[in-house]
Amino acid sequence: MDEPPSLFPQPNRDKAEKDRVREAGLDPSGHRGRLRKRLLEGGDDALGDHEVIEYLLMTAIPRQDVKPHARMLLQRFGSLAGVLNADAQTLMGVPGIKDAAAAALKIVGISARRLARQTVREEPVLSSWQALLDYLHIDMAHLNHERVRVLYLNTQNRLILDQIVSDGTLDESAIYTREIIAKAMAIGAAALILVHNHPSGSPEPSRADIQITQKIIEAGRLLGITVHDHVIIGRQGHVSLKAKGLI
């Protein structure tokens, strides 16, 4: 028996029907809906890298097939991390990527870095080493220039300050021993960890990396400041000078 018409409006049902009709108009093949279903019901690996980028672009580029854009971005930047860490102007240099799409990609990279940084701040750094490495990889591994940062720690080895001391050219960046030790003294740091990346991809330390580390260790020793490590980050992994017995 047919259900008699309701005497009262049903706003939720009406809205759901309107949303369904609207979505069908924007996504006639149903591809976007299927992608969203896999995302919501699956695990971390439910979507491939190109599909993650595609889904982000879908939020910024309506009524358009964005699969070609996603694949173009992956080809241009080499990996999902490369896309999410690219600067806005470089992203907008890719055909079809305008400010809304660049912003959708950038916000994910920013969120990932903030989440990783918060994890590092919550525990003593030396007892949450993997969290630190994850944070450094997210922030530095895919840069196309050299970045030097110093992590200043208190007596409990908790992070006081994460300072970028230099953003250099493709393959060099200045590290000034006096400035690093002076900053440690000024903020009352008991220890520090040096970090920099190699844009070439290989994290293997150079002779200059080892020499500057030794210089900072010696300067810190005179003032009671411990240099726990010097970590070098690259797309191919990382190297701890302490773990290699170089300091």
Predicted confidence (pLDDT) per residue in 21-69, tens digit? 444 445 656 888 888 888 888 888 889 999 999 999 998 998 889 999 9
| Whether 112 contacts 84, CB under 8 Å | yes
pLDDT of 145 > 90? The answer is: no
Torsion angle defined by CA atoms of residues 117, 217, 200 and 113, in that order, rounded to the nearest 10 degrees: 0
Query: How far lies 51's CA from each of 54, 66, 92, 225, in Å?
Result: 5, 10, 19, 47
The proportion of the chain whose per-residue pLDDT surpasses 70, expressed as a percent, equals 86
| Whether 131 contacts 123, CB under 8 Å | yes
Cα-trace Rg, the chain: 24
Report pLDDT for 22: 46
Q: What order of strands is seen across the sheet that includes strand 191-197? A: 159-167, 147-153, 191-197, 226-234, 237-240
pLDDT of 1 > 60? The answer is: no
| Whether 58 contacts 66, CB under 8 Å | yes
**For 230-247, b where at least 16 C-beta lie within 10 A, e where not — what string?**
bbbbbbeebbbbeeeeeb
Say if strands 191-197 and 226-234 run parallel, antiparallel, or are unpaired. parallel
Q: What is the Cβ-side half-sphere exposure of residue 116, based on CA atoms within 13 angstroms?
A: 19
* pLDDT tens string 58-81: 989 988 899 999 999 999 988 888
Burial of 15 (0-12, 13-18, 19+ CB in 10 A): exposed
* pLDDT tens string 152-164: 999 999 999 999 9
* Stretch 100-106: mean pLDDT: 93
